[in-house]
Amino acid sequence: MDFTTVAGLGGLAFVSAAVVINLIYVRGRLPFPMSAQSVDAVEESFAGVGDALKRPSVLAPATWLCTTIFAAGLLSVLWRGGEGAQAWALVGFAGVLMQNATFTVVEALRFGMATAAAHARGTTAGLWGFSNVLFGFNQVFLATALLGFGIAGSDVGFLPPWHAWLGYVSSALLFLSSSSGPYNADGANRIAVVGLIGWLGWVAWIVACSIALLRL
């Protein structure tokens, strides 16, 4: 099987796993960063979360593996060495790696908050603020991936104009949402819808890229 095919499947697998994880969080009423819940409500949720927190996290390593393979596949197609516009693919690949590394910390913080809520509630507020701001800042790496791969993909003709502009617009929205991170330590993101729209654009962009990789 060609690596581009594996990369395309990796991108689709990531999107599928991300949807499943978010559905589990919604059904389990687990607190999301930027959910605008009070610290008391967050503490109560995490104190009684039990094994519900563990189930979606089982899939998290698979999502990071899939996105890395997907990004490596894009890099192999878009950059052939040199210093031209195609080198922007390196920026896109770096964005995916940084996103994975940062979200690993976000995921681990959830378990820290669950432990704190059960044994030392006074520390939950600090961990909750840390998680909210880090989650917000993390969006800049999604924006970086979309921008880098978008410029390189347009240069080689891999991305049609509509696909490239989907990435650029989503990147701008994610960057704007990320920039508001310092004001969202309490979880009340005033422009949360901007980040959500940007994230949905990122997901749609991955699906379209994955299909393009499968067609190579």
* pLDDT value of residue 121: 62
Q: Which of left, alpha, beta for 206 (phi over 0: left; psi -120 to 50: alpha)?
A: alpha
Q: Which helix (H) or strand (E) holds 102?
A: helix 88-119
Contact between 94 and 71 under an 8 Å Cβ cutoff? The reply is no
* pLDDT value of residue 35: 65
Please give the full DSSP string across 107-154, using - where no structure is assigned.
HHHHHHHHHHHHH-GGGHHHHHHHHHHHHHHHHHHHHHHHHHHHHHHH
The residue type of 54 is K
Joined together, the tokens standing for residue 56 give 């979606």
Contact between 73 and 4 under an 8 Å Cβ cutoff? The reply is yes
Taking the alpha carbons at both ends of the chain, their separation in whole angstroms is 12
In 3D space, the residue among 213, 203, 209 whose CA is nearest the CA of residue 16 turns out to be 203
Give dist(CA 49, CA 79) in Å, integer: 45
What is the pLDDT tens value at each position of the chain, 216 positions in all? 799 999 999 999 999 999 988 888 877 777 777 666 677 777 777 777 767 778 888 899 999 999 999 999 999 999 987 788 889 999 999 999 999 999 999 999 888 888 887 776 667 778 888 888 898 899 999 999 999 999 999 999 999 999 999 999 999 999 999 998 888 777 666 777 898 899 999 999 999 999 999 998
Domain count of the chain?
Answer: 1
* pLDDT value of residue 187: 67
Q: Which helix (H) or strand (E) holds 30?
A: none
Q: Which residues, in sequence order, are CB contacts of 180 under 8 Å at separation 6+?
A: 136, 189, 190, 191
* pLDDT value of residue 34: 64
Helices (H) and strands (E) in the chain, counts: 8, 0
* Structural domain harbouring 129: 3-215
* pLDDT value of residue 163: 95
Predicted model pTM = 0.91
* pLDDT value of residue 119: 75
* pLDDT value of residue 207: 97
